[in-house]
Amino acid sequence: MSVNEMTTEEELHNITFDDDPFGEDYAITEDMWYYLRYYIEISVIIRLILSLFVIGAVIFLIVVLLRFKRLKIRTNHYILNMFFLYLSLYLVPLIYILFHFMFSLNSSGIHLLQTIITAVTLYITLAFMLGLDWFVFAWKPHLESTYNKYFKYVLLGTYSVFGLEWAVAFCYDRLEHIILIRPLFFTIVYLIYAVTLIVLNVLKRRISLAASSKKTQYALTVSNITIFSFLPLLIFHAFSALTGGSLIFYFFMALLEPFLSIIAISHPIYIVYRLGRDDKYFKMAYNKSFKRSVRNYNDDDLDVSVDDDSSKVQVNFNNETRIHINK
pLDDT (0 to 100) of residue 155: 95
- Tally the residues of the chain: 327
Q: Does residue 309 come out as left (phi exceeding 0), alpha (psi in the -120 to 50 range) or beta?
A: alpha
Does the pLDDT value for residue 179 go beyond 80? no
- Identity of the residue numbered 323: I
Residue 325's H or E segment, with its range, is strand 322-326
Q: Are 69 and 303 contacting, i.e. CB atoms less than 8 angstroms apart?
A: yes
pLDDT (0 to 100) of residue 245: 64
pLDDT (0 to 100) of residue 36: 85
pLDDT by residue (tens digit) across 31-75? Answer: 777 888 889 899 999 999 999 999 999 999 999 999 998 999 999
C-alpha distance from residue 46 to each of 91, 222, 264 (Å): 19, 25, 14
pLDDT (0 to 100) of residue 53: 96
Q: Among 10-14, 80-84, 160-164, 184-188, whose mean pLDDT is lowest?
A: 10-14
Report the alpha-carbon distance of residue 230 to residue 97 in Å, rounded.
26
Is residue 321 helix, strand or coil?
Answer: coil
pLDDT by residue (tens digit) across 241-273? Answer: 777 666 777 788 888 999 999 999 999 999 999
C-alpha distance from residue 31 to each of 24, 35, 38, 151, 282 (Å): 15, 6, 11, 58, 50
Q: What global pTM score does this model have?
A: 0.81
Query: How confident is residue 237, by pLDDT bands cut at 50, 70 and 90?
Result: confident
Query: How confident is residue 9, by pLDDT bands cut at 50, 70 and 90?
Result: low
Does the pLDDT value for residue 7 go beyond 90? no
Report the alpha-carbon distance of residue 120 to residue 86 in Å, rounded.
8
Cα–Cα nearest to 129, from 82, 175, 161, 165: 82
Q: Among 135-139, 178-182, 214-218, whose mean pLDDT is lowest?
A: 178-182
Q: What ranges in the chain are assigned the alpha helix state H? A: 8-14, 30-67, 74-102, 110-139, 144-170, 175-176, 182-204, 211-215, 218-229, 231-242, 247-278, 280-289, 306-309
pLDDT by residue (tens digit) across 195-221? Answer: 999 999 999 988 887 777 788 899 999
Pick 143 or 107 by higher pLDDT: 143
- Identity of the residue numbered 269: I
Contacts of 146 (CB under 8 A, 6+ apart): none
pLDDT (0 to 100) of residue 250: 79
Question: Which structural domains are found in the chain, ordered by start?
Answer: 51-300 (1.20.1070.10)
pLDDT (0 to 100) of residue 190: 95
Give the percent of the chain with pLDDT over 90.
Answer: 45
